[in-house]
Chains A and B, each alone.
Chain A
Amino acid sequence: MSNTGLVSFMALYVFMLAAFVGYQVIGRVPALLHTPLMSATNAISGISLVGSLVAAGSSDTVTTILGTVAVAAASINVVGGFLITDRMLRMFKHDPGRPAKRPKLGHGG
């Protein structure tokens, strides 16, 4: 097997483990926060900015043009995504009148 083939194989391990971790971690997010979750993962996947930056900084004109558009698109997601997630999360307020341990209706008081 060629060297690049082996490198791709290691990348598959990284992908598989990350997908398992993601499945476990995100499976625990309550339905209450599913919209902020989607906007947060959107912002995080704006990490494709990393690939876009390299393309935009290349010496080849066409690559630079494509890369610059990609940088703009990805940074809309990163900047906009984190801002709007925070805007949403700030709206979720705890009721000071209720105990933190959400009691069942009719069993607590």
Chain B
Amino acid sequence: MAREYFVQVAYLLASGLFILGLKGMGSAETARRGMFLAEAGMLLAVIGTLLQAEILRYEWILVGLAVGSAVGVAISLRVPMTAMPQRIAASHAFGALAATLVGLAEFLGSQGHGEVIAHPKMAALGFEVMFGSLTVTGSIMAFGKLQEILPSAPITYRGQNATNIALFLATVGLYVYLIVVPDAAWAFYAMIGLGLAIGILIVLPIGGADMPVVISLLNSYAGLASSATGFAIGNNVLIIAGALDGASGFILSILMSRAMNRSFTNVLFGAFGSAPAAAALKGGAALPVREVTIEDAAVQLAFARRVIVVPGYGLAVAQAQHQVRELAQQVERQGGEVLYAIHPVAGRMPGHMNVLLAEANVPYDALRDMDEVNPDFPECDVSLVVGANDVVNPAARTDQASPIFGMPILDVDKSKSIIVMKRSMNPGFAGIENALFYDPKTAMLFGYAKSSLSKLVAHMKGL
């Protein structure tokens, strides 16, 4: 009995420590301390569980723990920061796999003992396995697309949405049937099969640029599956940790959707890229763009008092974060001030660009999110746009006919002058022309971002 109390106290403390740990994430100063609390909570919960009377043998537990820890350490020490979205997608798959397997084990255990699972428990177990299985394959698909093992372009075919909706309804139908008839093994396995299929099919039509929403949504599903595990086995710490994870994924999904001016349903059923072809800028190619040389751009930056760098995913692809940092140092050496304007979807997952710049030793004080930095643009001497396109397109504010109309953007067009670094005049992922490039205040610096930045740094050093 005393042992049982110890276990419950350990779980209670762990739950509190998890919440305090996430509270620490409220600022960069307290985040690491917060994580130590969460780690302590996890250790307590694991020790508590190992003392439970239901555990009859330890040898396989040790094997699982050893293998998992070794793989976890190996992955997390090696993975580059640019590959963080893939790693997160993979971990959603692992989390959901654990939840699904625990659910399956629970179901098989009851079947083996000839017991019929009670209806409320089956509701939890079914939910766990349904969301778990679709998150496993959905996350593997997202991983494949981000890792570019699979083509990152949307894969669409006729009747795709109708098929997906029909499959989803069939899965929900099986789930409801299972709650009513909890010992229908065929329905349980069919539901797992359909869940796995839906995970694949639902991510197929989603393009690389929409990944921030997908990853956040899968995060939420993985959390809900864990929470359902807690309901099924009657464990509060699981319910709480899963709810925290689910809430986090939910908030991030909303933020990402809002930043892209899309709804969940639009991301999942939209298959972007097919519609907006008609949105060419009036006059199109006839409009002149102004080109600038490296020398002139270097002089312009050297005399600027306030510079805002606008990094886009193109910067991460070019691996040019360090060159940006060196350029900022040169501007600062000349007496200027540099800030970085980070759009919520600047990377392939929420907050990705901040991590990439922090890795390049940019102090976090200089990293500003969209709402924070937008009022600063009118006072900015030079905005330097590196590998960003749609997130700086003023059409989102002005052109009602544009497919990105209403999307929140960085108000780069309000700054005193603009330098856009771009490889060529190809439009961005949405296939939309960008009026910013034709603005009389804008100068285009064509070439590969990394080499252009290095040349700029070299010229500024000579000034």
Residues of A within 8 A of B (CB): 2, 4-5, 7-8, 11, 14-15, 18-19, 21-23, 25-60, 62-64, 66-95, 98, 102, 104-106
Docked pose: A65 CA to B276 CA in angstroms: 51
Q: Are A73 and B101 in contact (CB under 8 A)?
A: yes
Chain A minimum-CB-distance residue to B363: A95
Docked pose: A43 CA to B18 CA in angstroms: 10
Docked pose: A37 CA to B247 CA in angstroms: 12
B439 interface contact, C-beta 8 A: no
Docked pose: A40 CA to B339 CA in angstroms: 27
Q: Are A22 and B76 in contact (CB under 8 A)?
A: no
Closest A-B pairs by Cβ, 8 of them: A71-B64, A34-B351, A75-B68, A80-B72, A22-B247, A95-B363, A57-B55, A79-B72
Docked pose: A95 CA to B355 CA in angstroms: 16
Q: Are A72 and B351 in contact (CB under 8 A)?
A: no
Q: Which residues of B contact A88 (CB under 8 A)?
A: 81, 84, 355, 358
Q: Are A49 and B46 in contact (CB under 8 A)?
A: yes
Count how many chain B residues have C-beta atoms less than 8 Å from C-beta atoms of the other chain. 126
Q: Which residues of B contact A26 (CB under 8 A)?
A: 22, 25, 244, 247-248, 251
Docked pose: A40 CA to B21 CA in angstroms: 9
Q: Are A93 and B32 in contact (CB under 8 A)?
A: no
Interface residue from A11, A69, A87 paired with B231 (Cβ < 8 Å): A11
Q: Which residues of A contact B289 (CB under 8 A)?
A: none
Q: Are A80 and B73 in contact (CB under 8 A)?
A: yes
B277 interface contact, C-beta 8 A: no
Interface residue from B95, B121, B308 paired with A74 (Cβ < 8 Å): B95
Q: Are B344 and A31 in contact (CB under 8 A)?
A: yes
Docked pose: A55 CA to B226 CA in angstroms: 15
B450 interface contact, C-beta 8 A: no
Q: Are A50 and B238 in contact (CB under 8 A)?
A: yes
Contacts A79-B72, A93-B363 hold; do A51 and B102 have CB atoms under 8 A apart? yes
Q: Are A33 and B248 in contact (CB under 8 A)?
A: no
Interface residue from A38, A46, A71 paired with B349 (Cβ < 8 Å): A38
Docked pose: A66 CA to B124 CA in angstroms: 19
Docked pose: A32 CA to B322 CA in angstroms: 19
Q: Which residues of B contact A71 (CB under 8 A)?
A: 60-61, 64-65, 68, 98
Q: Are A30 and B18 in contact (CB under 8 A)?
A: no
B273 interface contact, C-beta 8 A: no
Contacts A47-B226, A48-B229 hold; do A11 and B234 have CB atoms under 8 A apart? yes
Q: Are B72 and A76 in contact (CB under 8 A)?
A: yes
Q: Which residues of B contact A63 (CB under 8 A)?
A: 105, 108-109
B350 interface contact, C-beta 8 A: yes
Docked pose: A63 CA to B119 CA in angstroms: 22
Interface residue from A31, A48, A53, A92 paired with B99 (Cβ < 8 Å): A48
Chain A minimum-CB-distance residue to B63: A68
Docked pose: A19 CA to B242 CA in angstroms: 9
Which has the most chain A C-beta neighbours within 10 Å: B45, B94, B97, B358?
Answer: B94
Q: Which residues of B contact A11 (CB under 8 A)?
A: 230-231, 234, 236, 239
Q: Are B350 and A38 in contact (CB under 8 A)?
A: yes
12 CB contacts below 8 A, A to B, read: A25-B19, A36-B355, A40-B22, A44-B38, A45-B223, A54-B49, A72-B64, A73-B97, A74-B95, A93-B361, A95-B366, A106-B379
Q: Which residues of B contact A69 (CB under 8 A)?
A: 64, 97, 101
Q: Are A92 and B31 in contact (CB under 8 A)?
A: yes
B159 interface contact, C-beta 8 A: no
Q: Which residues of B contact A18 (CB under 8 A)?
A: 15, 239-240, 243-244, 247
Q: Which residues of B contact A87 (CB under 8 A)?
A: 76-77
Q: Are B76 and A80 in contact (CB under 8 A)?
A: yes
Q: Which residues of A contact B246 (CB under 8 A)?
A: 19, 22
Q: Which residues of B contact A42 (CB under 8 A)?
A: 88, 91-92, 95, 219, 222, 245
Docked pose: A38 CA to B89 CA in angstroms: 10
When each residue 106-124 of chain B gets 1 if its CB lies under 8 Å from chain A and 0 otherwise, what string results?
A: 1011001000001111011
Contacts A50-B238, A66-B105 hold; do A105 and B379 have CB atoms under 8 A apart? yes
Q: Are A82 and B38 in contact (CB under 8 A)?
A: yes
Q: Which residues of B contact A5 (CB under 8 A)?
A: 118-120
Q: Which residues of A contact B240 (CB under 8 A)?
A: 14-15, 18
